[in-house]
Structure 1
Amino acid sequence: MHSKLDRRKKYTRMVLKESLMKLLKEKSISTVTVKEICTLADINRSTFYSHYMDQFDLLNQIEEEIIADMNETLTSYNYNQDDQTLQMTEKIVEYVAENSDVCTTLFSEHGDSGFKKRVMMVASDHTVKNWLSAYPIDSEISEYVSIFTISGSIHILENWLKNGMDKTPKEIAELINNLTNKGLSYLQ
């Protein structure tokens, strides 16, 4: 009986998340209503409120799951070696590819603008600090280097998603790593 409830709960949450993602493709979170989510999910509002406080709470839960997955992926790698850094970057790109629908929506103008900043902080905490330790940089400019590297990487991922993932995750990971490690000089 307990597993039946767990399956029902998982199904309900999955349908609500999918419904919110569909709505966010068309409009911003501030204009989405709980009623719209429930209608699309074919779930009554009392069921929705037994799981989430409102549409913002639902969006936050989706974002938290992605951040937790990214943290788990990033903590499993040793970034001090170039090949490990490339493997870690490739894992993140593969994760984005596997979750392309959600990532495209969350990175869009209809998603939560704070989400992109949170992704940047996670990536910075795990990767840039290790890249910076490999390349001694004055602490006064390390924050600028970190922002430049992470925001550039996120924009590459956004563009890749918009282009229908026209390159493999490995190619995108190599591009990000090469630009991070060598800058534009790698193109020559």
Structure 2
Amino acid sequence: MVTDLRIVKTRKAIREAFLRLRASGVPVSKVKVKDICDLALVNPSTFYKHYLDVYDLNDKLEDETIDAMLEHYPDKDKILSDPPAFLNGWRPAIDSQIDDLRVLFAGRPEAMFRKIESMLVERYSARAVNERERIAAVFSIAGALHSLGLLKLEGGQSDDEIIAAVVENLNAIAARIPDGR
């Protein structure tokens, strides 16, 4: 954990400068380190002490933002055990980071769902007692988030009861996966 206040302030300035550029409509491919440094009031060498390039910065900010979203999500671990509770916490969790999510994933909501899925799968896979549990977790999480993502990407209103039922059905199917022993 970084505790040096100078490092914290420098990273915050770089982050805010990058997000300001992106929020103004500049795509990642057009963001220049020089522009970030000018806004953040840091030297390029300082930027490169913390990040490899603009894409590394973008990737780290996406991960940090999703991590922060999941930290504000008390029911994130209930996708398999209590799908309705998981879904009730979904919107407030996203809302906690909505401004940064909109900027970082502008025009790429599917990338956001993939990152969230990856983080949740990693979390559940680490807890799996055996391969069957790991497969069941991946199956249910991917199915639930894919369904939720499709509804959101299509711009429709999602019916949480329907999605909860889908997740419960996915869990039931996953529970029938043989151990493979």
Moved more, 64-73 or 12-21: 64-73
Cα RMSD (Å) of the superposition? Answer: 3.8
Q: With structure 1 as the length reference, what TM-score do the two structures score?
A: 0.60
| Residue ranges of structure 1 left out of the alignment (5+ in a row) | 128-140, 161-171, 184-188
How do 1:13-92 residues align onto structure 2 when only pairs under 5 Å count? 13-25=11-23, 26-69=25-68, 73=73, 77-80=77-80, 84-92=82-90
Deviations 1:2-48 (A, max 9, x none): 95xx1111111111111111111212101101001111111111111
Q: With structure 2 as the length reference, what TM-score do the two structures score?
A: 0.62
Identity of aligned residues (%): 22
Q: Secondary structure at the match of 1:108?
A: coil
Query: Residue 178 in 1 paired to residue 161 in 2?
Result: yes
Q: Secondary structure at the match of 2:78?
A: coil
1:93 and 1:46 mapped to 2: Cα distance?
A: 39
Q: Is the 8 A contact 2:33 2:53 kept in 1?
A: yes
Query: How much does 1:117 deviate?
Result: 2.6
Q: Is the 8 A contact 1:120 1:150 kept in 2?
A: no
Q: Secondary structure at the match of 2:114?
A: helix
How do 1:23-172 residues align onto structure 2 when only pairs under 5 Å count? 23-25=21-23, 26-69=25-68, 73=73, 77-80=77-80, 84-109=82-107, 114-122=111-119, 145-146=143-144, 148-152=146-150, 154-155=152-153
Q: In structure 2, do the counterparts of structure 1 residues 30 and 154 end up closer, same or farther at CA, with 3 Å as the change threshold?
A: same
Q: Secondary structure at the match of 1:43?
A: coil
Figure out how many residues of one structure are paired with residues of the other and give that number.
149
Q: Is the 8 A contact 2:14 2:37 kept in 1?
A: yes
Query: How much does 1:105 deviate?
Result: 1.0
* 1:87 alignment partner AA: A
| Residue ranges of structure 2 left out of the alignment (5+ in a row) | 125-138, 167-181
